[in-house]
């Protein structure tokens, strides 16, 4: 009788293949998990770098699909990376973009007027020499915000 017709042969083959296959499957799964973690980390680093650019922050405010969480993240990034205006020349594009951001974020309905006032005070505290420009940008936005709110109330 041949060895292939014995049940023990098939039992041995299945055990041998399982012993070989299990480590291969586990190692492959582990490699896939490690690779996906690296991709997530790269994505987080890329997003963190984007938040350091004022143009990206302005694009968040201009995007109608942005939500409150996006606005709050943009505001925190602005406070962290762009709130100090003193080193910039008021005629520079970067300075004007930052003032534009200040005006647009002050116009948003996601935070109340008291919070906008605290934000203004915080910015003025960091940039005493630019108090007038900051107050004008925020004041203009609040005026537009009030007229927009009154327009909604009349309709």
Q: What is the pLDDT of residues 44-88, one digit of tens each?
A: 898 888 888 999 999 998 988 888 899 999 999 998 988 887 777
Q: How many other C-beta atoms lie within 10 A of the C-beta of residue 140? A: 13
The three-point CA angle 141-54-120 to 5° equals 35
Give the closest residue to 55 by CA, choosing from 107, 106, 104.
104
Predicted model pTM: 0.67
Name the CA dihedral angle for 17, 21, 22, 27, rounded to a multiple of 10 degrees: 160
**Contacts with 134 (C-beta within 8 Å, 6 or more apart), sequence order:** 85, 99, 102, 120, 123, 124, 127
Which of the pair, 151 or 13, is modelled with greater confidence? 13
Q: Domain map of the chain by residue range?
A: 3-49, 53-154
Q: In the predicted model, is pLDDT for residue 154 greater than 60?
A: no
CB 126, CB 82: distance < 8 Å = no
């Amino acid at each position: 009788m041949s060895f292939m017709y014995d049940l023990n042969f098939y039992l041995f083959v299945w055990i041998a293949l399982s012993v070989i296959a299990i480590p291969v499957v586990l190692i492959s799964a582990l490699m896939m998990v490690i690779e996906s973690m690296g991709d997530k980390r790269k994505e987080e680093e890329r997003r963190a770098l984007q938040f350091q650019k004022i143009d990206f922050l302005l694009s968040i405010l201009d995007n109608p699909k942005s939500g409150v969480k996006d606005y709050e993240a943009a505001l925190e990034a602005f406070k962290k990376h762009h709130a100090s205006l003193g080193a910039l020349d008021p005629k520079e594009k970067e300075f004007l973009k930052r003032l534009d951001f200040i005006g647009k974020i002050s116009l948003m309905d996601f935070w109340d007027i008291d919070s906008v006032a605290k934000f203004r005070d915080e910015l003025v505290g960091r940039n005493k020499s630019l108090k007038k420009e900051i107050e004008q940008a925020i004041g203009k936005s609040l005026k537009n915000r009030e007229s927009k709110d009154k327009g909604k109330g009349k309709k």
